[in-house]
Amino acid sequence: MQPPLTLRILTDDEETELRALAHGRKAEARLRDRARICWLAHQGGRVAGIATEVGCCQATVRTWIKRFNALGLAGLHDAGRSGRPPLYTAEEAGEVVATSLSDPQTLGQPFACWTLDRLQTYLNDERAIPIKRSRIAEILQAEGLRWRQQETWFGERVDPDFVAKRGRSSLSTRPRLRAVS
């Protein structure tokens, strides 16, 4: 028969902080529940009684007591989770941001300001970064950059030769048919 699961002996600082977390109202609910589990175990509670009082299963109580015993107060926080690895490195994301903040004409482009479509085309063709328009927008938004429309606030175009250089605005947009008079 296994001995009952107990909490390790706490230092004075750990005990103070664990009590504050378990009885406080400013921490996240899940962190507070985990601290309560450990606090009740510190007070001499058994796994079944703690599970009933906190309102979770015995396996959860065992998990948090073991994590606290192994990692201390840091073990009560969420651990990193697995998931899909990032598709673009930090250097590529940095290059997207740097390119979007640069003047297109200094990079040899025939227009005065970037659009997401132009940025995508430039990054795909010139920089060999296979990135989509939506991902460019996400990267820029994560950096705190707000993308704007081609026009200025007063309706004037930034580039006087805009219409000649523009081409089609989007590959998915059909050209407008002109009415015959």
Q: What is the pLDDT along the chain (181 residues), one digit of tens a residue?
A: 567 899 999 999 999 999 999 999 998 999 999 999 999 999 999 999 999 999 999 999 999 999 999 999 999 999 888 888 888 899 999 999 999 999 999 999 988 888 899 999 999 999 999 999 999 999 998 888 877 654 444 455 566 676 667 666 666 767 677 777 6
The reported pLDDT for the residue numbered 95 is 94
Nearest to 54 by CA among 25, 34, 78, 31: 34
Listed by start position, the domains of the chain span 12-76, 90-146
The reported pLDDT for the residue numbered 152 is 45
Which pair of structure tokens corresponds to residue 73?
Answer: 């107060």
Determine contact, residues 46/76, Cβ cutoff 8 Å. no
The reported pLDDT for the residue numbered 145 is 84
The reported pLDDT for the residue numbered 148 is 62
Give the integer Cα–Cα distance in Å for 116 and 132. Answer: 9
The reported pLDDT for the residue numbered 172 is 72
Q: CB-based burial of residue 119 (10 Å sphere; 0-12 exposed, 13-18 middle, 19+ buried)?
A: buried
The reported pLDDT for the residue numbered 62 is 96
Which pair of structure tokens corresponds to residue 101?
Answer: 């903040």
The reported pLDDT for the residue numbered 3 is 78
Determine which helix (DSSP H) or strand (DSSP E) holds 91, and give its type and residue range. Answer: helix 90-101
The reported pLDDT for the residue numbered 159 is 65
